[in-house]
Amino acid sequence: MSATVAEALSLEQLIKAQACGLGFDLAGITSLGPMETAAAFETWVARGYAGEMEYLPRGAAKRRDSRLPVPGTTSAIVVGLDYGGRSPSGPIARYARGDDYHEVMLGKLGELHEWLEAELGRPIAGKAYVDTGPIIERDLARRAGLGWFGKNTNLVNPDVGSFFFIGALLVDLDLRPDAPFEADRCGTCTRCLDACPTGAFVQPRLLDATRCISYLTIELKGAIPEDLRSQMGAHIYGCDVCQDVCPYNIKFAQQLREPAFAPRAAIGNRDARSVARDLLAMSDDDYRGAFSGSPMKRAKRRGLSRNAAVVLGNIGDEGDKAALAVATSDHEPLVSEHAEWALEQIEARRLPT
């Protein structure tokens, strides 16, 4: 950008241009203050839809008012980083195939913060958030004009769909806010609701997380309810189904451009059965080597092995029984129990009805 052009732009325009220069696909600005969906969020938790995610209610007062987490801040620079909705679907949700998005996003937001201080020639109080604190980033993103709340609860942008991460840099600057995104462009479409394998949507924009495959494979620490296991299909970690069927993603989803989100060798573009068998065979050291710095480390080895067993129970055959038989002696009872269930499922499919 030439000096002449830069001088003609407002600070807000320069900030968004710099965000794009750092690799972000979306950028907008909004003022901090009371959050519109905070009360609905608290009701959602109270109704039990959050399941075992006991960390969610923490910091309720700060979640209600986005000025409170970082005293003195008045504006939020909200960004979106695409993770490649055009990549083939598979047993691992697209967002989790590469490096941990928290670290990638926070690094870029840190660079944006440093640039802003250099541009203004003084320290700017602020803090970046990426799904890690009492901030409703989705609210801030809608207010910053980045999209609307889809019926599957994801933020949808009319130009790129919904396969993007949201982050926010809260700053002590009075920036001119962008116009909020007011329209609801879902119309009468219910494809996301109808396609959910486990029927996790109570109604449009109301998700029962305890039935969501992403929750079951990532956040749930114990046994997966037996009545839901067969509905998980070939999903080992997370689920993209409600995004895959969205018309905005079908038409506007992007190719993967961020190198940090490229699939790791343990995942690649491999089929669910081969990934599941490898996961079951992993030792704790193997797991740490394969998933260090990955979002998949959240489920721990025991969780990934549990999920892998369920997938083989759903789609496996005689060729998978050896891997499952070994897993029935796993030192983690959670893994052995799910491996035994999987063997029972394969055997039931083999026997004539």
The residues carrying an active-site annotation are: 131
CB atoms within 10 A of CB 96: 27
Reference 171, options 48, 255, 75; nearest CA is: 75
Separation between Cα atoms, residue 95 and residue 82, nearest integer Å: 9
- The rounded distance, in Å, linking the Cα atoms of 54 and 159 is 35
Tokens of 100: 């941990």
Which helix (H) or strand (E) segment holds residue 210: the answer is none
- Give the H or E element holding residue 8: helix 3-8
Dist. CA 273–CA 164, nearest whole Å:
27
Please, how many CA atoms are within 13 Å of residue 279, restricted to the half-sphere of its CB? Answer: 31
What does the longest C-alpha to C-alpha distance in the chain come to? Answer: 78
Q: How far apart are CA 346 and CA 335, in angstroms?
A: 17
Q: What are 201's strand-pairing partners? A: 207
Question: Do 231 and 197 form a contact (C-beta atoms < 8 A)?
Answer: yes
Q: Which residues pair with 75 in a beta bridge?
A: 31, 171
Q: Cα(138)–Cα(146) distance, rounded to whole angstroms?
A: 9
Taking the C-alpha atoms of residue 310 and residue 99, their distance in angstroms, rounded to an integer, is 25
Quote the CA–CA distance of 47 and 65 in Å, as a whole number: 22
Count of C-beta atoms within a 10 Å radius of residue 302: 18
DSSP 3-state of 92: strand
